[in-house]
Amino acid sequence: MRLAVLASGRGSNLQAILDAIAAGTLDAEIVGVFSDKPTAQALRRVPEPLRWSRNAKDYPNRAAFDAELATAVAATRPDWVVCAGYMRILGDAFVQRFRGHLLNIHPSLLPRHRGLRTHAGALAAGDGEHGASVHFVVPELDAGAVIAQAALPVLATDTPESLAARVLRLEHPLLVAVLQMAAAGRITEQAAQATLDGQPLFTPLRLEFAPG
């Protein structure tokens, strides 16, 4: 399975993918890492030939940046495109080009807390549980069909920072687990719905992992 990964920051989810590939638990290869931030630490996790980065601020508009990004991603012939901590909203043209093969990991139990500041949002809402979701990307922000989630209890002592750290430890195995399903040809998007082994997922899979 050929994976193109989009990342804007540290790249810890990318590292989880790389570790799983190295351990032989994920039958995949990274064919490119793409970033809107040339200084993103994620880029340094792969050899230079696999890196592509441009400063999005140098482009006249989002469409122009996305068009160049899409061309670069397509050139790697990916089976799946994975947004792993990619902080730019992808435009409709990019999403439609890779629709059905475009995944995102989001730090909340969707449909709750779309967008940014999800951990503060969970605390402000008094949520009893919080977690992460892997979903298909559609033009509407964080609104695509959710494939799988992992949850943890919100503690009375949690801050946005502590909750973020705890959720991040769930994100890594969750993303790898979904990519294992993708590598085995088990997941698809059909009529805006996620399917597993050809059957519609009416509710996301709830996966459990030991605390990291």
CA distance 51 to 43: 6
CB 150 within 8 A of CB 170: yes
- Catalytic: which of 106, 119, 135, 172? 106
Residue 77's Cβ-count burial label (10 Å; 0-12, 13-18, 19+) is exposed
- The amino acid at residue 7 is A
Reduced to 3 states (helix: H, G, I; strand: E, B; else coil), residue 48 is helix
Q: How many whole angstroms separate alpha carbon 87 and alpha carbon 137? A: 13
Cα torsion for 178, 182, 183, 185, to the nearest 10°? Answer: 140
For residue 73, give both structure tokens. 């991603």
Helices (H), the chain: 12-23, 62-75, 92-98, 118-124, 160-183
| Whether residue 106 lies in the annotated active site | yes
- Look up tokens 């209890």; give the residue: 153
List active site positions. 106
